[in-house]
Structure 1
């Protein structure tokens, strides 16, 4: 998939609702559910890049491997793509 950057909260939530992650490490049937559980209810920035055969967008494989989701000072990063997928949440200064 081509890299994508979105800065509209509604568009971000819509896209995340269509992403499912399978394979080793972190996995979820709906990335939006996980993002909301972690308190990212109004994300202001999404950057997705790379390609992961075990990531699905709208049911199609080879979705993005890396997702960076920002809500003000908090950033949630999901990284995978050929290795065990990991999740990290950090605060920015």
Structure 2
């Protein structure tokens, strides 16, 4: 796969993971705990879990092609657990 395609793929995974995390935190969780509607957490939570794993695998997949330092890889991984973190990665490192 060409580098441009790898970057494009990881960029999309990063954006989707970030959106799913925000939906989980700011839509699904309030619905569950304030309105007793847990279904959204199950749906968004599953999607977020899959995208989270894809993001982590993608970070390791991009490590060598983009010549990231180990510190950069750690920052990219740490951003996966911070709201808006994947958007920062997408803008700064891709």
Sort the TM-score into its range (normalised by shorter chain). 0.3 to 0.5
Scaled by the length of structure 1, the TM-score of the pair is 0.34
Select the structure of larger CA radius of gyration: 2
Higher helix share: 2
Select the structure that is richer in strand.
1
After TM superposition, the score normalised by the length of structure 2 is 0.34
Q: Which of structures 1 and 2 has the larger relative contact order (alpha carbons within 8 angstroms, sep 6+)?
A: 2
